[in-house]
């Protein structure tokens, strides 16, 4: 179903009811398609959304951390603080 922005604005509640029932509403502006309204479906939290889009994976277990420990070069923070005190 296609509706103009003006029609959508004037009858927003009606069209939102239609979308809630599963219909897809195409919104036009000067006869050009500018948006589609569709049911939101089940809301997912951030990580679930990333996994659903293939942007993250998880095997269900506890995170293992980094594979390689970073090598620290130079003096530690404690050594630098002690230097500043003298």
**Residue pLDDT, tens place only, 16-25:** 999 999 999 9
Residues 1, 24: contact at Cβ < 8 Å? yes
pLDDT at 49 over 90: no
Residues 36, 13: contact at Cβ < 8 Å? no
**C-alpha span between 52 and 55 (Å, rounded):** 8
* CATH code for the structural domain at 1-40: 3.40.1620
With residue 12 as reference, give the H or E element that holds it: helix 12-20
pTM of the model: 0.49
Length of the chain counted residue by residue: 86
Q: What is the mean pLDDT of residues 63-72?
A: 76
Structure tokens at 69: 């420990």
């Amino acid at each position: 179903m296609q509706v103009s922005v003006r029609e959508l604005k004037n009858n927003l509640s009606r069209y939102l009811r239609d979308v809630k029932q599963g219909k897809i509403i195409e919104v036009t502006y000067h006869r050009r398609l500018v948006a589609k309204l569709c049911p939101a479906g089940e809301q997912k939290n951030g990580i679930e959304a990333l996994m659903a889009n293939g942007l993250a994976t998880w095997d269900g277990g506890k995170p293992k951390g980094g594979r390689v420990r970073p090598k620290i070069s130079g003096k530690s923070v404690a050594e630098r603080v002690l230097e500043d005190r003298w």
